Chain A
Amino acid sequence: MQIRDLPYSDPGDPDVRSGPRFLFWLGRNQLGGQLKSLSWGLLHQLGIAGLPVTVGLAVQAVIDRSGGRLALAGGLIVALGVLIAVGDTMLHRTAVTNWITAAARVQQLLARKTAELGSALTRRVAAGEVVAVSTGDVEKIGWFVEALSRFAAAATALVVISVGLAVYLPSLGLVVALAMPVLALAVLPLLPRATRRADEQREKAGKATELASDTVAGLRVLRGIGGEELFLGRYRRASQEVRRAAVRSARMWALISAVQVLLPGLLLISLVWYGATLARDGRIDVGQLVTVYSAATLMLFPLRHFEEIAMAYSFSRPSAQRAVRVLSLHRSAQEATVEGVTPTGDLYDPATGLMAPRGQFTAVVCGDPDEAGRLADRLGGHAETGDEDDQAAAAAPSVLLGGVALDEIPLDAARAAVLVQDKDPVLLSGTLRELLDVPSSGLVTADAALEAAQCADVLSALAQASADNDGDPMRTRITERGRSLSGGQRQRLALARSLVTDPEALVLDEPTSAVDSHTEARVAAGIAKLRQGRTTVAFASSPLLLDAADRVVLVHEGTVVAVENHRDLLRTEPRYRAVVTRETDDEAAAANAVNGVGDVPAPKSDDVPAMKSIEEIEERA
């Protein structure tokens, strides 16, 4: 696999049984790359190992006053230089390629998993957790993958050099060969503590960053009302805590580097002492002594890889674990049993008795906004419940579209038939044209949808913000989540997007809650006109929207209690009147007294209605 061939056309099916297994799966999938990297690494290390020989050769040649052998040493250095340069460069290239291909593969797997899980994802794991895998963990996994072959090459090279030295010069070579394992393993016991401290530091740093970004995010509030000093003080404390944790961590690393100077130093002293005695007694050449000394200093570099691989593994294992946690998620929704059906007809929910006749604009009023949200979700079929408390809800019979149970057809077919726009639809980043380019029937143009959703002011705002200054709002980028637009503008753009889709049945949950009254009346008329002859359901509590619907359904505590048009319901149904006109208690009481209807809706668990009835009693008294 080369970098230029990325991304993978298919990142494969990962082994998600555990973190280490996932790492193994990644490694197995790039076996060729790992072997290449290992070979080049070996070449590099052995090339470096050859240098001391030339140093010794040159010194000995000079002692022996041999110009020819000195030239030979020079030739050897050039040859080794080429070997080292090629080996090092290619090792780097292949190891980094392993890193990038592994990272790209994991990113692709994450992208596919999140797209597959859709709305189910954040019900199982926190959104932040998934993003953290992408921003932090992938890098650590890649590090391990990259370090693996380099470590293997270094370890192999060390063995080869030790054996070579022992053969070349048994007396001194054995000393080096015996010392190597000690040098390789000496710092390992210190590493767990060092990495733990590094983790603590990272965690503290993460908290400080969070505090800072939180303060900045709320800066307008702070500047408007005060409290800057409170938050600055808090951040300063967090920042100083990070500093202290970092210094604590640095203490360990400083100790480790001291050990890394001490042990090789002791080896060098022994070599000099013992080697000089041998050379004095004429048992070895002076050049050989220099070779062994020089080799011992150069062996420190491959030794560092022992430390690196231990750290890489200790960091990447939990990272792989977290990645596996996300990648092993599945949708709990039931399997499709009916294939190839395009349902059409009335939308009916047997659980509540809610019926939206085909081709009509039905508005639904719920006393409890959360209940409205759940009911809207149900209407789309394949509702994700996630937690166990909702077993009852999950067991409820499926919503039917034209008599076809939506839960039984494939998810994609159900979403194509019924589009549920939730309370807080997200505007995906991109230009306006890209935003409105969604799978659709193709019958509703973007212009028609924008007009129906009364987006003229959004268009002019976007045209003004247009970076290219050609003033084309369709080509203007909408900032992330539409933050540069007001709540009402965002809501109308989301509505336009749903209208463009033009599904068989469109379910809207409070589509105009943030839109001002002036505009809302026009939006309601726009929806009714554009969706003429198509099935539309809107959950709402605003009279301006309700008035535009063909029929209005009042749902109370999970059951349909009245079906009529807005004006009639307003006259005849006090519970409806209470929700829709937002009468306060005194007004409601007055109305009740006049109409002779005794009961206000039974107080629910929230405080507001409970307080209402108390106040009402006081009022009457």
Chain B
Amino acid sequence: MIGVAPPAYDPAAPESATTLPVGTPTTVRSYVRSLLRRHRRAFTVLIAVNAVAVVASITGPYLLGGLVEDLSDGVTDLHLERTAAIFAVALVIQVVFTRSMRLRGAMLGEEMLADLREDFLVRSVGLPPGVLERAGTGDLLSRITTDIDRLANAMREAVPQLAIGVVWAGLLLGALTVTAPPLALAVLIALPVLIVGCRWYFRRAPSAYRSEAAGYAAVAAMLAETVDAGRTVEAHRLGGRRVALSDRRIEEWTAWERYTLFLRSVLFPVINATYVTILGAVLLLGGWFVLEGWLTVGQLTTGALLAQMMVDPIGLILRWYDELQVAQVSLARLVGVRDIEPDAGDAEVGPDGRDVRADEVRFGYREGVDVLHQVSLDVAPGTRLALVGPSGAGKSTLGRLLAGIYAPRTGEVTLGGAELSRMTAERVREHVALVNQEHHVFVGSLRDNLRLAREGAEDAELWASLAAVDADGWAKALEKGLDTEVGSGGFALTPAQAQQIALARLVLADPHTLVLDEATSLLDPRAARHLERSLARVLEGRTVVAIAHRLHTAHDADVIAVVEDGRISELGSHDELVAAGGAYASLWRSWHG
């Protein structure tokens, strides 16, 4: 085989632009610096311990070299007991410090890793809600799983091992220089091959490994999707096609495996040649020097054995340098989250009153494409407002603006006279809460799942909130009650129950204004209406903006706004709109028969 070109298809190439930023080299560097600063002491100790272990390990070759010298000079009194005693002491030191070096290396790596992952999560939970809505959580999710995983190896092993390897190689080289300066030159002969070979390799390897890893992940992802979509695959008779797709992913992945194998097929001979060149050069040059009388036999022996020991640190450095290169990309993705502008809110801005107003609001997700056109709306405190209209008309967008998640492009959305977009997320949610179709149940106890809305809430309050959303029945039936573990891997709640949990949180958080975006769409329709009525009793006097699929929600509201094409086309109570005979009226008639 002469060479393998990198495969044309690169599974690591982003399918669509990543939604969140990736760290620039400058941010990554400054982060790494701060990480190293935080662990400066541990690093220093690790290197010191390492140095002691290496120096102790050099004792053997020295002693043997001395013996060889004496033997070849025909000395009969070798002081063997003394030599053995020194060797034994050195061995004990080496054993103790090797153990300590491994342990400290691991501890340091683990601490840095823990710092890194905790830092990342702290940053993530501080992201502005608007960024999350826009970017979705998928990208963030892949960063916290895949990238942290990849970094784990690097932090746990690569960083400490590389530090060890570099110190080790340096000390050996130093020892060689001290023993016999000319022999150090012999080592340098091997350097050009190593440098050229490694440059070639490391220029190609990191991206190739990234692609290989992405290719392998794609194989697993394909399988995961087939498993997840089992019913759909069977119903549409897609089994054969899924198998063919899986085979294609395997082909793509193995093509990259083949390429990286080729890269290593170049690197391995280079490394082997380096070892052998070092050893050969030390022996031949050294032998010649001895014959010329510039060196002693003992120096030669020690030098040859030290050269032989170089195998270890060089292997270590090459082995982990690879890993570090791959990890760099993951690190950039994690650190990238730091580049996102934090919440721009002003802690001083707060509402005065409960009036919700939208004034001549225009808004769009993309430049030049507005979803809402000059929408004005005034919601008096305590009003129950229903937004109805066809999909894509902008109901949910309007809801998010009213909940302060997005800022309008022009015009303003105010609560109690203060602009929502100028308040911090923490301030906004004291007053306004948004519940949408996304009903996440967290891994943990039912109690934790509720308490997040009001930390330190008593059990009685939690039960009351469950009762308010008709959920106390099934919750009481749970064997462990509030201690029941729910969420992924725990007790599986139905989507309807999850939605009730989301609403119970709302009851606990008790904001005076609520935006419900199809908050009951997953419940059985009759249960949904029942729940809405129970909820209405609890929320008496609160302002509620409900985005409704179902007309009964609208029917129960004080005011209905029909949203069409980003504008409010009809506004009034149920009876008024039915009497007016517009779009709402005709819909109601076909609905109610």
Contacts and interface: CB of A to CB of B under 8 A. Distances in A.
18 contacts: A51-B279, A111-B226, A112-B243, A115-B242, A219-B124, A221-B505, A225-B452, A230-B452, A231-B442, A246-B156, A293-B305, A425-B235, A428-B229, A464-B369, A519-B391, A542-B525, A582-B525, A608-B527
B137 interface: yes
Contacts of A104: 250, 254
Contacts of B228: 127, 426, 481
B233 A118 contact: yes
A393 interface: no
B125 A298 contact: no
Interface stretch (A26-34, A153-161, A247-255, A335-343): A247-255
Interface string A72-112: 01100110110011101100110011001000100110111
Interface in B534-593: 548-552, 587, 590-593
A234 interface: yes
Given A67-B291, A380-B235, A239 B114 contact: yes
A219 B284 contact: no
A620 interface: no
Interface in B46-99: 57, 60, 63-64, 67-68, 71-72, 76, 78, 80, 83-84, 87-88, 91, 94-96, 98-99
| Residue in B15, B67, B269, B470 with the greatest tally of chain A CB atoms within 10 Å | B67
B437 to A, nearest CB: 6
| Residue in A223, A297, A439 with the greatest tally of chain B CB atoms within 10 Å | A223
Given A230-B451, A486-B396, A223 B132 contact: yes
B473 interface: yes
A242 B388 CA distance: 49
B389 interface: yes
Given A73-B287, A521-B590, 13 more contacts: A51-B308, A62-B297, A81-B280, A88-B268, A210-B488, A216-B144, A220-B132, A225-B453, A253-B102, A258-B99, A457-B391, A547-B590, A582-B552
Contact of B235 (A246, A298, A422): A422
Nearest to A608: B527
A458 B307 CA distance: 68
B269 to A, nearest CB: 4
B361 interface: no
B448 A230 contact: yes
Interface stretch (A165-173, A259-267, A530-538, A589-597): A259-267
Interface string B420-448: 00000110010001111110111110001
Contacts of A211: 443
Interface stretch (A52-60, A312-320, A348-356, A552-560): A52-60
Nearest to A514: B521
B518 to A, nearest CB: 8
Closest 6 pairs (CB-CB, A-B):
A227-B452, A118-B234, A250-B106, A81-B276, A111-B246, A218-B440
A541 interface: yes
A279 interface: yes
B223 interface: yes
B533 interface: yes
Given A62-B297, A209-B149, A227-B455, A269 B593 contact: no
A122 B16 CA distance: 31
| Residue in B113, B156, B234 with the greatest tally of chain A CB atoms within 10 Å | B234
A107 B219 CA distance: 8
A487 interface: yes
A276 B269 contact: no
Contact of A294 (B229, B254, B308, B440): B308
Given A3-B254, A84-B272, A272-B64, A265 B95 contact: yes
B335 to A, nearest CB: 16
B133 A220 contact: yes
Interface residues of A toward B: which range? 35 or more
A24 B443 CA distance: 39
A131 B287 contact: no
Nearest to A570: B593
A35 interface: no
Interface stretch (B32-40, B256-264, B346-354, B373-381): B256-264
| Residue in A220, A268, A611 with the greatest tally of chain B CB atoms within 10 Å | A220
B297 A131 contact: no
Interface stretch (B115-123, B181-189, B321-329): B115-123
Contacts of B105: 250
B280 A77 contact: yes
B272 A3 contact: no
Contacts of B493: none
B268 A85 contact: yes
Contacts, number: 500
Given A219-B127, A225-B509, A234-B444, A134 B219 contact: yes
Contacts of A262: 91, 95
A269 B242 contact: no
A6 to B, nearest CB: 4
Given A58-B284, A582-B526, A242 B391 contact: no
Nearest to B75: A280
A137 B250 CA distance: 16
Contacts of B3: none
Given A134-B219, A279-B71, A70 B291 contact: yes
B443 A118 contact: no
B308 A298 contact: yes
A584 B238 contact: no
B592 A131 contact: no
Contacts of A570: 593
A220 B129 contact: yes
A243 B391 contact: no
B98 to A, nearest CB: 5
A420 B258 CA distance: 43
Nearest to A487: B437
Contacts of A441: none
Contact of B102 (A61, A250, A513): A250
B526 A130 contact: no
Given A262-B95, A420-B235, A74 B83 contact: no
Interface in A195-243: 205, 208-232, 234-236, 239-240, 242-243
B71 A286 contact: yes
Nearest to B515: A224
Given A243-B114, A429-B225, A7 B593 contact: no
Contact of A273 (B80, B279, B552): B80
A265 B518 CA distance: 72
A110 B440 CA distance: 30
A279 B71 CA distance: 7
Interface in B362-377: 366, 369
Interface in B138-155: 138, 140-141, 144-145, 148-149, 152
Nearest to A123: B230
A258 B102 CA distance: 9
Contact of A219 (B137, B238, B273): B137
Nearest to A211: B443
